[in-house]
């Protein structure tokens, strides 16, 4: 005999309905509580639905946005180019961040001083060793400069046959150049407090590497600290050459906002000016008799480098312009002027009380970041742009490709510095490394649909290098007997990049190339204006809008 099974109603099977089903003997209070729970559950459900819908709309909007990837090796000028983009989209972008960038520029200046002092310390140590051994080596010769020979032999571009000539040349200059004296050593000691400023700020910028403030290095510890090989790097997460790094994102700005917040004038409530009005009280320089800094009249954050730099600006200027120091740098082939974030020539201006950086200063500033940063801009026509800046270090390159397969364009920065080596690996030429990365990007199937725009960057450095008589063929043997001038050098490297682009691209795409000097904001804005127009037009064509 077939019997009908009991029907299972929707209400019986719905666990949520069971929760809110009134009990047979429900009291008035229980009813009110049940209704309140229902209303709260409905509210939460609506919030979830609204959030899902908002995310869906944002995703759809993001799909139609223009996405650009900035690529290049470390110190290729990506961050500088990004700031130019920010200025192109919003000319007043940095107005409210002037106090923050002031500290970054001051840190750049301290970093240059630190590097300069490390070179001076090494020279003083070398001179001291040579003086102690002079009785054992009465006859001057190539063997009397082992450190120089070691540096020359380590260079991949100096042949063994020319080594003795190189050493003799160095000795000749050493014998005629003004020597370093005790005055240089004393000046170095007076600048030692700058270390504590950088260490303290680095500890705040990366608190996970903080803890107790590390001890200051001794007066003979500059070289290790400046190169990032000493114990201090573990506290501050310095890069390989003693440069402060920060994580991608805006956390570092929050730290510097706290540092610069005490500089704001509490009585000034103007909304038209950036919040960087400094107290009208002048910074009191140290007393010549006491040799100490008068801090009673200063209302600066303890980590703010402003008071110290204002007090030591004249000492820094004296050291940088000293003939013996200039001769030492020339003899060692050090061109600090070509380094990113170089402000030694501006130390007098930066050391003035109340100094505020201009746009050109901010564009030139250097802050090394690790990780991927995303920047969103809205153009005048209403289109949204996303620009991604990824780490340029060699160890992080293989990690980013799979995450950017939807970008419409890649701006690749290749600095034409053919006579410099990577900070990460002194045996690898910078230009060779750029070409290697270029080949990798061009040949990537994941990036095949993106147009690649090549910026041959740092044209100003290339021009000064060629004017100094540096021969390209010395570092790039395949350049051969081509004329050693801007026109032919730029054409040679542009053709080399073009050839790899054509041969390695998975599918045919146009080749775009521009010569740039990212620190020249006016010229770069002109280039970026055309690039923006081209990228947007190509994006709209893909969307079938035009």
Distance of CA 182 to the CA centre of its chain: 36
Per the DSSP assignment, residues forming a β-bridge with 115 are: none
Spatial contact of 22 and 31, defined as CB atoms under 8 Å apart: yes
How far is the C-alpha of 332 from the C-alpha of 321, rounded, in Å? Answer: 16
Distance of CA 405 to the CA centre of its chain: 24
Residue with tokens 């704001």: 264
Closest-CA residue to 263 (of 474, 103, 473, 424): 103
CA–CA distances in Å: residue 512 to residues 26, 409, 527: 76, 11, 12
Per the DSSP assignment, residues forming a β-bridge with 387 are: 68, 375
Residue 465 in marked binding region: no
In three-state secondary structure terms, 516 is coil
Query: Can you read off the two tokens belonging to residue 512?
Result: 């775009």
Residue 426 in marked binding region: no
CA–CA distances in Å: residue 69 to residues 76, 174, 431, 435: 14, 48, 20, 18
Tell me the pairing of strands 245-247 and 368-370: parallel
Which is it for the CA torsion 523, 525, 527, 530, positive or negative? Answer: negative
Q: Residue 22 phi/psi, 5° resolution? A: -65, 145
Closest-CA residue to 213 (of 196, 194, 230): 196
Residue with tokens 């270090």: 393
Looking only at Cα atoms, what is the longest distance across the chain?
A: 123
Per the DSSP assignment, residues forming a β-bridge with 94 are: none
How far is the C-alpha of 351 from the C-alpha of 374, rounded, in Å? Answer: 34
Residue 457 in marked binding region: yes
Per the DSSP assignment, residues forming a β-bridge with 421 are: 429
Residue 369 in marked binding region: yes
How far is the C-alpha of 546 from the C-alpha of 537, rounded, in Å? Answer: 8
Residue ranges for the known binding site for Mg(2+) are: 369
Residue ranges for the known binding site for GTP are: 457-460, 518
Residue ranges for the known binding site are: 369, 457-460, 518
């Amino acid at each position: 005999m077939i019997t009908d099974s009991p029907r299972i109603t929707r209400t019986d099977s719905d666990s949520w309905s069971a929760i809110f089903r009134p009990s047979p003997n429900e009291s008035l209070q229980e009813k009110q509580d049940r209704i309140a729970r229902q209303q709260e559950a409905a509210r939460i459900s609506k919030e979830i639905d609204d959030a899902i819908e908002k995310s869906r709309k944002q995703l759809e909007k993001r799909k139609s946005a223009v996405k650009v990837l900035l690529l290049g090796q470390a110190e290729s000028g990506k961050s500088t180019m990004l700031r130019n983009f920010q200025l192109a989209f919003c000319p007043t972008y940095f107005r409210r961040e002037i106090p923050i960038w002031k500290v970054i520029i001051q840190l750049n200046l301290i970093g240059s001083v630190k590097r300069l002092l490390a070179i001076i310390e090494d020279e003083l140590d070398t001179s001291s060793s040579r003086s102690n051994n002079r009785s054992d080596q009465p006859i001057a010769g190539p063997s009397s400069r082992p450190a120089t020979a070691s540096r020359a032999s380590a260079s991949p571009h100096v042949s063994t046959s020319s080594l003795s000539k190189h050493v003799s040349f160095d000795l000749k200059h050493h014998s005629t150049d003004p020597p370093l004296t005790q005055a240089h050593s004393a000046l170095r000691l007076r600048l030692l407090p700058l270390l504590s400023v950088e260490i303290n700020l680095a500890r705040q910028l990366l608190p996970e590497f903080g803890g107790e403030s590390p001890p200051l290095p001794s007066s003979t510890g500059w070289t290790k600290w400046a190169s990032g090989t000493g114990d201090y790097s573990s506290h501050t997460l310095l890069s390989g050459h003693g440069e402060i790094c920060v994580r991608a994102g805006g956390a570092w700005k929050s730290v510097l906002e706290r540092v610069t917040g005490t500089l704001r004038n509490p009585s000034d409530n103007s909304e038209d000016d950036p919040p960087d009005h400094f107290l009208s009280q002048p910074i009191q320089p140290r007393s010549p008799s006491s040799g100490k800094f008068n801090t009673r009249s200063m209302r600066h954050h303890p980590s703010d480098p402003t008071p110290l730099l204002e007090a030591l600006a004249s000492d820094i200027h004296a050291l940088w312009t000293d003939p013996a120091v200039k001769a030492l740098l020339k003899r060692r082939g050090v061109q600090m002027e070509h380094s990113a974030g170089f402000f030694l020539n501006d130390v007098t201006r930066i050391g003035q009380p109340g100094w505020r950086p201009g746009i050109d200063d901010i564009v030139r500033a250097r802050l090394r970041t690790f990780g991927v940063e995303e920047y969103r801009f809205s153009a005048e026509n209403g289109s949204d742009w996303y620009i991604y800046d990824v780490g340029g270090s060699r160890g992080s390159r293989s990690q980013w490709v799979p995450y950017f397969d939807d970008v419409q364009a890649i701006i690749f920065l290749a600095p034409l510095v053919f006579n410099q080596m990577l900070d990460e690996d002194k045996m690898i030429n910078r230009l060779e490394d750029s070409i290697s990365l270029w080949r990798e990007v061009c040949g990537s199937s994941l990036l095949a649909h993106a147009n690649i725009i090549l910026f041959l960057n740092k044209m100003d450095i290339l021009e000064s290098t060629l004017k100094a008589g540096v021969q390209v063929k010395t570092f790039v043997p395949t350049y051969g007997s081509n004329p050693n001038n801007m026109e032919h050098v730029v054409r040679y490297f542009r053709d080399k990049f073009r050839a790899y682009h054509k041969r390695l691209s998975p599918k045919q795409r146009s080749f775009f190339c521009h010569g740039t000097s990212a620190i020249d904001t006016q010229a770069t804005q002109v280039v970026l204006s055309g690039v923006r127009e081209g990228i947007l037009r190509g994006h709209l064509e893909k969307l079938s809008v035009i």
